[in-house]
Amino acid sequence: MDAFFASVEQASKPSLRGKAVVVGGLGPRGVVATASYEARIFGVHSAMPMAQARRRAPNAAYLVPRFALYRSVSEQVMGLLRALSPLVEPLSLDEAFVDLEAGGTAWDERSARLAGAKLRADIRAVTGLTGSVGLAASKMLAKIASEQAKPDGLVLIEPGTERALLGPLPVRTLPGVGPATGDHLRRAGIHTVGELAEAGEDELVRLLGKAHGHALFAMALARDERPVVAERETKSVSVEDTYDVDIHDRVRVGTEVRRLADRCVRRLREAGLSGRTIVLKVRRYDFSTLTRSETLRGPTDDPAVVREAAARLLDSVDTTGGVRLLGVGVSGLADYTQEDLFAQAAGVPADDLPREEAEAVPAPEPETPAERRWPAGHDVRHAVYGHGWVQGSGLGRVTARFETPGSEPGRVRTFRVDDPALQPAQPLPLVSRGPGEDEGAETGGGMRTESR
């Protein structure tokens, strides 16, 4: 998918279409998650410090991510991919490999190109967004093709042309060549994939070690036998927050851990899962990272159990000096729960309460309007003006623009942060349709595609 998070925001907010949009953490330590192509013109890119992005594109819209909406759109796209083949390997919310041969969807270059074109049309019809498709005989080449296709394009690497295409590309193009390996190869005088192949396998093994040297030499010769692996089973569910200012107050740290535990449980339940092992992650002021875990008697999705386990783990961690990141996760996943685990929480026997009440005790304290957070880009609803989104907040005021995915650009209004008429809201779905009947194309199987 093309600039996925930013594209979803533009589709959701008519006033931002065609404008520079940057999505990520907005605090002093925030980084860019995704930048729209309009923002990239100014040199903004993912993983860039947000402060640097603001200097380069001061007039862009800076928004906090809405992951629930992104996951919803991603599921629509992944559903289209699974219609092509049972072998779909998601790499992230916006990227996946598909083995078209396994689905009988393409058997030669022509049928593969038709399948890719239909996929792009279906993605646009269902989500209103654009995706770029790379088609090739291997995962490595399909990924390279999809990068060349961006934005909103399709590239097919024809069999027999792989070596010629790879030769002039920088070594960083190949999977597994990061900054450190790239610098090591550069010092050895190897800058392109062609020079990597010319260096020979023995030299690469000498420079990089046996496993890495063998693998890179094979890739330099366009050899990649890695299969497309169907969606892997989720190993864990976790959430974490990085704080703009180190937290020194131990009570505040405990409050944040409880809040993260509740968020983690919500994700567990959304996925229909439970887990046995509770994990706490703490990154301290000096960037040292500590991980603590506790394994329960059986799987649970009870917020009280997860909160108390995380609190016990926190007791074993020294937070003197400050904390810059906290995370709570659950692993050892299962699709069932062990009811009597509630007895571990707050000393309440499970048999004393029905399940519905047990899940709600102890409930987190509700926010008062003055405590409510108004993240930029997140959804609101006003009793008079309807649905909108937060443009910004501060000094006791929150500014919102009232518009929906299917409306014209809306009006901007400012309210007190404690105005009872203004409430946080859930994202509205993007305006979408089913794939058009006239967009069908002759399809069949035989190549791999990577859509991202």
Output the DSSP codes for 143-196: HHHHHHH-SS-EEE--TT-HHHHHTTSBGGGSTT--HHHHHHHHHTT--BHHHH
Per-residue pLDDT tens digits for 398-430: 999 999 999 999 999 999 999 999 999 999 998
Residue type, 324: R
Q: What are phi and psi of 125, to 5 degrees?
A: -65, -40
Beta strand 274-284 with 289-300 is: antiparallel
DSSP code per residue over 110-140: HHHHHHHHHHHHHHHHHHS----EEEESSHH
Of 27, 58, 23, 20, give the one whose Cα is nearest residue 41.
20
C-alpha–C-alpha distance, residues 275 and 231, integer Å:
20
Per-residue pLDDT tens digits for 309-352: 999 999 999 998 899 999 999 998 876 655 444 444 443 333 33
C-alpha–C-alpha distance, residues 145 and 445, integer Å:
18
C-alpha–C-alpha distance, residues 403 and 340, integer Å:
47
Residue type, 109: E
Residue with tokens 């996943």: 333
Per-residue pLDDT tens digits for 170-196: 999 888 788 888 888 999 999 999 999
3-class SS at 46? coil
Rounded mean pLDDT, 204-223: 89
Catalytic residue flag (residue 231): no
Q: How far is CA 153 from the centre of its chain?
A: 22
C-alpha–C-alpha distance, residues 341 and 315, integer Å:
21
Of 419, 349, 425, give the one whose Cα is nearest residue 380.
425
Of 99, 204, 98, 223, give the one whose Cα is nearest residue 166.
223
Cis ω before 151 (30° cut-off from 0): yes
Q: What are phi and psi of 245, to 5 degrees?
A: -130, 135
* Of residues 370 and 95, more confidently modeled: 95
Task: For the chain, give the percent of residues with pLDDT over 70.
Answer: 86
Assign 31 a pLDDT band (cuts: 50, 70, 90).
Answer: confident
* Of residues 219 and 350, more confidently modeled: 219
C-alpha–C-alpha distance, residues 226 and 296, integer Å:
37
Lowest mean pLDDT among 78-82, 105-109, 381-385: 105-109
Residue with tokens 């993605």: 123
The whole-number pLDDT of residue 180 equals 80
Q: Which tokens belong to 32?
A: 């860019």
Q: Which tokens belong to 53?
A: 């992005």
The whole-number pLDDT of residue 317 equals 92
Of 401, 388, 393, 385, give the one whose Cα is nearest residue 418.
393
The whole-number pLDDT of residue 336 equals 62
Residue with tokens 């094979």: 218
- pTM over 0.75? The answer is no
Lowest mean pLDDT among 11-15, 27-31, 393-397: 27-31
3-class SS at 218? helix
In contact, 237 and 333? CB cutoff 8 Å: yes
Of 399, 396, 355, 361, give the one whose Cα is nearest residue 377.
399
Strand partners, 101: none
Residue-level length of the chain = 452
3-class SS at 334? strand
C-alpha–C-alpha distance, residues 203 and 201, integer Å:
6
Per-residue exposure over 69-94, b if at least 16 CB sit within 10 Å of its own CB, e if not = bbeebbebbbebbbebbebbbbeebb
Check whether 127 has a pLDDT greater than 70. yes
Residue tagged active-site, from 9, 89, 95, 101? 95
Q: What distances in angstroms separate CA 376 from CA 18, 389, 407, one per listed residue?
A: 19, 8, 20
